[in-house]
Amino acid sequence: MTSDKRNTNSLTKLAGYFLPVLITLLFLYWTFRGIDLKQSFVQIFRTSIWWLIIYLVVFYLSHYFRAVRWKFMIKPVKPDVSSLNLFGALMVGYGVNCIIPRLGELYRGLFLGKWEKISRTTMIGTVVVERVIDIASFALASLISVYLFNGDLFKDIPWLKPSLMIGFVFILVFVFLLIALVRFKQNFTSVILKFVDGINPNISKKLSGVFSTLIDGFSSIKGIGNILNIVLYTALIFIFYALNTYVGFFMIGMEKLGPVDFSMAWVFMAISAYGVLIPTPGGTGSYHLISIFVLSELYHFSYEVSAAYAILTHFIQFFVFIISTVIMIYWINKIQVRKGAKPENFFSVFNQRKEDE
């Protein structure tokens, strides 16, 4: 019986590893069939080095702003958290997501928790709350896109309106749950856990941990000043995401092939983000599919040029995240050792210590 259970768990884990790869391959096949990739790579080889440098600067700045926003979320728990550790943990998270989808969110919370000696529950909680803020922000960015687009975006993208409706419902339900958890945590959680415990004690125990994580994460956001800063940096993040997209157009010379402007970059940024929501490693395949659709169907660039943009920008981001992950772990661990702390790796961050209690 125990052997059967182990075999089942092993098969489940194996499927969990290979399913995203299979989805990625299907997306890549579906995306690039019928496209002359030779022409796409001709366009890529014409990439401007100067625009590439500007692209990388804006790219890093957008993620630096994300690290600063995270700092304001953690400030009530630890005011003097290191900006380098924050940025490093963020890059680690993105790097891991390029290999195993969604696992990076867990890793960045664990790495920062270890480097800064903050409870893992609090750190993961802030990551969850941050993701809810991002979902709400992307939904808002999509609505702004509807007004910026010179046409009927809901008609051209039939799935956009129902996606936004589902997204806003999810946000409202999640915010209501968080408020109820924080304000009435004793009564609210005890009633739910008691009910679930009667059905399955194991699920009740896991749910208790989830509630604790959400409460710690949401409770860390305190003070009008912190909230205003979180809103300000969220706006900066999305403006620089769109600016990064805009610079990318010039990087491969798209301005010579058709009109490009910042509103086009904003629409592309908002819509292509839906491709990253699909659980493929680093958004591979799904990002390419939606990016090519937006550039070719909404803005009438050729499939080859649209593919060139999608391939180049995804490759740059994928490469930068992986390299940054390696550099940041090495660099920050070196600083930690000088301070007398132990270096951390992808296995050690799961070890429980007193500061994680």
What is the residue-wise DSSP string for 156-178? HSTTHHHHHHHHHHHHHHHHHHH
What is the spatial distance between Cα 90 and Cα 56, in angstroms, rounded to a whole number?
A: 16
Task: Tell me the residue length of the chain.
Answer: 357
* 283-323 per-position pLDDT tens digit: 888 899 999 999 999 999 999 999 999 999 999 999 999 99
Name which residue leads in pLDDT, 278 or 50. 50
Q: Is it the case that residue 134 has pLDDT exceeding 80?
A: yes
Residue 34 has pLDDT above 50, yes or no: yes
Q: How far apart are CA 255 and CA 274, in angstroms?
A: 25
Assign 173 a pLDDT band (cuts: 50, 70, 90). Answer: confident
Using the predicted structure, report yes or no on whether residue 13 has a pLDDT greater than 60.
Answer: no
Q: Work out the number of other CB atoms within 10 angstroms of the CB of residue 2.
A: 6
What confidence score (pLDDT) does residue 1 get?
Answer: 47
Tell me the two tokens of residue 45.
């080889």
For residue 226, count CB atoms less than 10 angstroms from its CB and return exposed for 0-12, middle for 13-18, buried for 19 or more.
Answer: middle
Residues in CB range of 162: below 8 A, 6 or more apart? none
Is the pLDDT at 272 greater than 80? The verdict is yes
Question: Rounded to whole angstroms, what are the CA distances from 145 to 136, 152, 262, 270?
Answer: 14, 10, 11, 7
How far, in Å, CA of 141 to CA of 139, rounded? Answer: 5
Which residue, 329, 275, 271, is CA-closest to 93?
329
Q: What is the pLDDT of residues 238-256, one digit of tens each?
A: 999 999 999 999 999 999 9
* pLDDT category of residue 5 using cuts at 50, 70 and 90: very low
Torsion of the alpha carbons at 341, 345, 349 and 352, rounded to the nearest 10: -60
Quote the pLDDT of residue 187.
65
- What pLDDT digit, counting tens, does each position of 35-45 carry? 999 999 999 99
Please say whether the dihedral angle defined by the alpha carbons of residues 191, 195, 197 and 203, taken in this order, is positive or negative: negative
Those residues with Cβ within 8 angstroms of residue 237's Cβ, 6 or more apart along the chain or in another chain: 62, 65, 66, 69, 137
Going by C-alpha positions, the residue among 265, 261, 244, 246 that lies closest to residue 141 is 265
- Residue 224 main-chain phi, psi, to 5 deg: -60, -40
For 273-285, write each residue's pLDDT tens digit.
888 777 788 888 8
Q: What average pLDDT score do residues 140-145 get?
A: 93
- Identify the CA nearest to 243 among candidates 70, 48, 57, 86: 57
Query: Would you say 230 and 66 are in contact if contact means Cβ atoms under 8 Å apart?
Result: no
* Whole-number average pLDDT of the chain: 85
Least confident segment among 86-95, 163-172, 338-347: 163-172
